[in-house]
Amino acid sequence: MEGGKIERPLKLHFIPYLAPGHMIPLCDIATLFATHGQQVTIITTPSNANFLSKSLPYIDPLFLRIHTVDFPYQQVGLPAGVESMSNTPDLASSSKLYAGAMLLQEPIQNFMEKDPPDCIIGDFLYPWVHDLASKLRVPNLAFNGFSLFTVCLMETLRTNPSLDSHMGSFVVPNLPHPITLSGRLSKSSEDFMGLMLEKELKSNGLIVNNFADLDGEEYIKYYENTTGHKAWHLGPASLVRKTVQEKAERGQESAVSVQECLSWLNSKRDNSVLYISFGSLCRYQDKQLYEIACAIEASGHEFIWVVPLKKGKEDESEEEKEKWFPKGFEERNIGKTGLIIRGWAPQVLILSHPAVGAFMTHCGWNSTVEAVGAGVPMITWPSHGEQFYNEKLITEVRGIGVEVGATEWCLTGFEEREKLLSSDSIEKAVRRLMDGGDEAEKIRSRAQEFGEKARRAVEEGGSSHKNLLALIDDLKRLRDSKPIE
């Protein structure tokens, strides 16, 4: 209450992009605003609304609701029900999904014109959000799902197009740390990302699913000094999930029961289990899966391994599914030293279990920040997109992981790879973290320190919690200073 007046909640409209890696963190951030008494509407398509309504924590519909707009299947040539990047098996269908997402502008605009918000928070892959906000004369905040470190690296590469990666490794200039890259995104990807980042800078600020200690004050200052843009660290968003049930329900329905997963983990010693997952969009060929299987068996460590179902092959025979298993692998390991999950896994729940000692990851930002929030060190195996940039923050800048040695930059996660990572190099990386020793203990200790910092950041008085309250105050000031029409 201020000056005898009851403070009005903000009316906030969130527009997440149609991919789990974008949708889940932005909806967790939307939940944060709702739990602080703001009126939040998440705008998405029917099948995504169905998935979100099952995975979002329950909050009074007065503060958190989902509004749906129909997805234009026929216009873009997709089958009915395909509304998420996780359901697109190739680049052609991903492009159709993106085209369909762009066509959501008109129905979303129609909805907002009837019920204007105080602020729009939109994924940067929707370049029209800024124009819509300008038309409605309200502020907009951008979200891209990256760490600020990665945004700084991308911005530096964007403004230094002459940096040549064809001659092998090169050092990215001007950053607070000397970052060495062995390649960069394809020209078309960089051009596309550049356009999106440029558009993003027109927003009233950038929402980051990270906390200040992990990106580092040096990168926050670098970003704000070089772009003149404000970044708001509000994460890790996954820590909004407190209970076992909330952690288990984050994302799609799990392919394994929570009880089975917890029961298996509860029987293991602390830090004894290797968790392996390459996200929802990364698909490795059978010959690469074979090398991973050989490596983890040779390392002698217990493991949980998430293997995505091949799109369109859900009905294939068990024999077909397991053709990449080394001879006798299943009999020797499954259910005893190893657990294989086909499909979606309750990752936040698994990572927060004390039995998990390391995470072999593709370095997608959600997986990365979930691991950091749980204090788990990483074995980094980037595949595509910005994942190679995230790897540098984990290994070179913060020292909370080891590299497996991946160097092949792919355009998408389902692309055929030319290079095969050998079981020897995979086993060596696993042993560096899981066998113990001075190096492993230092990395584990640093990872646990960052886990503690992550938890403190989202608690009352922590940096992300303070940022959230300051952002709410800022948006209220903007709303209340608008002249009455």
Q: Does residue 356 sit in helix, strand or coil?
A: strand
- The CA distance from 126 to 160, in Å, is 25
pLDDT higher than threshold 70 for residue 70: yes
Residue ranges and CATH numbers for the domains of the chain are 11-239+457-480 (3.40.50.2000), 243-454 (3.40.50.2000)
118 included as an active-site residue? no
| pLDDT for res 315 | 46
Mean pLDDT, the chain, integer: 88
Check the CA dihedral 403-408-414-417 and report its sign.
Answer: negative
Q: Does residue 326 sit in helix, strand or coil?
A: coil
228-261 pLDDT tens trace: 999 999 999 888 766 555 555 555 555 577 888 8
Q: Is the peptide bond prior to 236 cis by the omega test (within 30 degrees of 0)? A: yes
Q: Does residue 452 sit in helix, strand or coil?
A: helix
Out of 28, 118, 123, 215, pick the active-site residue.
123
User: pLDDT over 90 for what percent of the chain?
Assistant: 61
pLDDT higher than threshold 50 for residue 314: no
| pLDDT for res 409 | 72
Give the lowest-confidence range in 19-23, 159-163, 263-267.
159-163
Phi, psi of 162 (to 5 degrees): -80, -10
- The CA distance from 375 to 361, in Å, is 14
- The CA distance from 433 to 305, in Å, is 17
83-105 pLDDT tens trace: 888 888 788 888 999 999 999 99
170-221 pLDDT tens trace: 888 889 998 988 877 777 888 888 888 889 999 999 999 999 999 999 999 9
Q: What is the dihedral of CA 151, 157, 158, 164, to 10 degrees?
A: -160
- The CA distance from 428 to 469, in Å, is 45
| pLDDT for res 267 | 93
110-167 pLDDT tens trace: 999 998 999 999 999 999 999 999 999 999 999 999 999 999 998 888 887 777 655 5
22 included as an active-site residue? yes
Instruction: Tell me the DSSP string of 88-128.
Output: --SHHHHHHHHHHHHTTHHHHHHHHHHS--SEEEEETT-TT
Higher pLDDT, 6 or 113: 113
Q: Residue 267's Cα: distance from chain center in Å? A: 29
Query: Could you tell me whether strands 179-181 and 273-277 are parallel, antiparallel, or unpaired per DSSP bridges?
Result: unpaired
